[in-house]
Amino acid sequence: MHAVVLVGGFGTRLRPLTLTTPKPLLPIANVRQLEHLIANLGAAGVTEVVLAIGFKPEPFLQAFPDGVCAGIPLHYAVEPEPLDTAGAIAFAARHAGVSDTFIVMNGDILCDLDLSSLVAFHKEHGAEGTLHLTPVDDPSQYGVVEINDAGWVQRFVEKPQPGETTSNVVNAGTYVLEPSVLNRIPEGERMSIERVVFPAMVADGTLAAMPTNDYWIDTGLPHTYLQSNLDLIDGTRTRILASVGAHAHVHATASITHSVIGENAIIEDGCVIIDSVVLPGAHIGSRVRLEKSLVMGTVGSDSSLLNCVIGADAQVMPNTHLIDARVPHPDEAK
C-alpha cells in the first residue's frame, strides 16, 4: 500500500526554527517528526511513502540520502509550484503510479492512531474516502466535521467562522482514499482538498469518518512543538524516548529538568534548563537559565530566556534577559 505524506508547507508559525529546517525534519525527542510518522505508516503495512514536496527537496534528500526513512522506501514528488493540498496529493499519487487504496497524511501531526483500524473502517463502509477525526478544545483553526451515527460525513467546514458549526470534532489529517478521488482533481491544478474535494464528496455521500480519542497533536506552533517533545519523555504517549541525544555535551554542574537535549548540543557549567528543547547543535553558555524555550542557535553566558524561540543563526549576547521573544524576529528574518 502507498502513503502520500504532505510536506510542502512553509511552517511559518514555527519561525525562526523553520527558516533553516523544514517542519517535518525538526526532531521530536531526538527523532525527526517524519520518522515518527513513517514508522506508524510502516506498522500498518505501508510499503512505499510518497513525499509530496511543494518546494526545495534538498533538505529531505540530505536527511535520507539512501532514500529510506524508518525502513520504508521513499518516492520524491516535487511539484513544479506548490499546488495546495488536493493538487499536491494528486500530483504525488500520479507521479508514483498509485492505482489502489492509499493513505494520505499531513506531515505536521503526531498521533497514536492504529492506521489499520482506519483502513478496516474504510473498507467496511465501502467509502470513497475516510477521515480520521479527533476532538479539540478550539476547532476554529481546523477542518470541522459533522458525522451521522453510521459514520458518514454530513458537513466539512474548513476554519469555520464563530457560530458556523457546533461540532468540536475535527479532521485529524489522516485519510484513506480510493484512486477515484484523483479523478476529482484536474492535472496540474492548484486545489484544496479541505475546501473543494471533501465538500464535493460529502454532497455525493461518499466520505466516511472515524473519530478516536488516542493521542493527537498538530506540532505547527511553538507551544505545541514544545509539548510534543515533552509528551514523548513524560510517558503521555504509548512509548517513552530518551531525552538526551547522542554526543550532547552536558556539564556536570548543569541542571536539566523535564527537557530534551539534541544531538551535539553543548550545555556549559551552571545552566538551569526547565521544560525546554535544546535542538541539535545549539550552544548554551555558562549559567544560562532556559525555561519553556526552544533553542537552535547560541545563547551567551548569564542570560535567561522564558518562553523564547531562538533560530539556528541567532546569537543571544551574554547577559541578555528575554521573555516571549523570537530571535531573529520572523518579520526581520529572510
Binding site for ligand GDD (CB under 6 A): 6-9, 52-54, 79, 82-85, 88, 106-109, 142-143, 158, 170-171, 173, 194, 218, 220
70 contact choice in ligand GDD, Mg ion, none (CB below 5 to 8 Å, kind-dependent): none
Is residue 143 close enough to count as binding Mg ion by CB under 5 A? no
Query: Segment 58-97, which members bind Mg ion (CB under 5 A)?
Result: none
Minimum CB–partner distance for residue 21 and ligand GDD (Å): 13
Helices H, strands E: what count in the chain?
A: 6, 29
Angle at 14 between CA 13 and CA 18, to 5 degrees: 120
Stretch that binds Mg ion, among 62-70, 106-114, 263-271, 273-281 (CB under 5 A): 106-114
- Is 334 in the active site? no
Of 88 and 309, CB closest to ligand GDD = 88
Q: How many angstroms separate the CA atoms of 80 and 83, rounded? A: 8
Q: Rounded to the nearest whole angstrom, what is the least distance from the CB of residue 289 to ligand GDD in the complex?
A: 33
For 21-59, b where at least 16 C-beta lie within 10 A, e where not — what string?
A: bbbbbbbbbbebbbbbbbebbbebebebbbbbbbeeeee
Beta-strand pair 31-32/27-28: antiparallel
107 lines the binding site for Mg ion (CB under 5 A): no
How far, in Å, CA of 17 to CA of 297, rounded? 9
Among 35, 79, 84, 108, which residue sits at the site for Mg ion (rule: CB under 5 A)?
Answer: 108
Q: Among candidates 52, 32, 170, which has minimal Cα distance to 104?
A: 52
Apex 149 CA angle, 147 and 150, nearest 5: 95
Are 266 and 283 in contact by the 8 Å Cβ rule? The answer is yes
Nearer to ligand GDD, 202 or 290 (CB): 202
- Nearest distance from C-beta of residue 79 to Mg ion, angstroms: 18
From CA 198, how far away is CA 206, in angstroms rounded?
A: 9
Smallest gap from Cβ 79 to ligand GDD, in A, equals 6
Q: Is 220 in the site for Mg ion (CB under 5 A)?
A: yes
CB of 306 to ligand GDD, least distance (A): 27
Per CB under 5 A, 54 contacts Mg ion: no
Residue 108 or 128 having the CB closest to Mg ion: 108
**Contacted by 53, from Mg ion, ligand GDD, none: CB < 5 to 8 Å by type:** ligand GDD
Give 109 or 277: the residue with its C-beta nearer to ligand GDD.
Answer: 109
Q: Which of 249, 279, 218 is nearest to 9 (CA)?
A: 218
- Comparison of 85 and 293: residue with beta carbon closer to ligand GDD: 85
Min CB(9)–Mg ion separation in Å: 7
Catalytic residue (one of 56, 123, 159, 292): 159
Please say which residue, 8 or 285, places its beta carbon nearer to ligand GDD: 8
Does 139 participate in binding Mg ion (rule CB under 5 A)?
Answer: no
Q: Are strands 321-323 and 68-69 parallel, antiparallel or unpaired?
A: unpaired
Write out the three cell numbers for 65. Answer: 540520502
Q: How big is the site for Mg ion, counted in residues (CB under 5 A)?
A: 2
Give 92-144 as a DSSP string.
HHHHTT--S-EEEEETTEEE---HHHHHHHHHHHT-SEEEEEEE-S-GGGSEE
Specify whether the CB–CB gap between 295 and 311 falls below 8 A.
Answer: no
- Does the protein bind Mg ion through residue 128 (CB under 5 A)? no
* Eight-class DSSP state of 314: -
Question: Which residue number, 9 or 245, has a Cβ lying nearer to ligand GDD?
Answer: 9
For position 194 contacting Mg ion by CB under 5 A, the verdict is no
Cα gap 103→172, rounded to integer Å: 13
Q: Which does 171 bind (CB under 5 to 8 A by kind): Mg ion, ligand GDD, none?
A: ligand GDD
- The residue ranges that bind Mg ion (CB under 5 A) are 108, 220
Residues with a catalytic annotation lie at 159
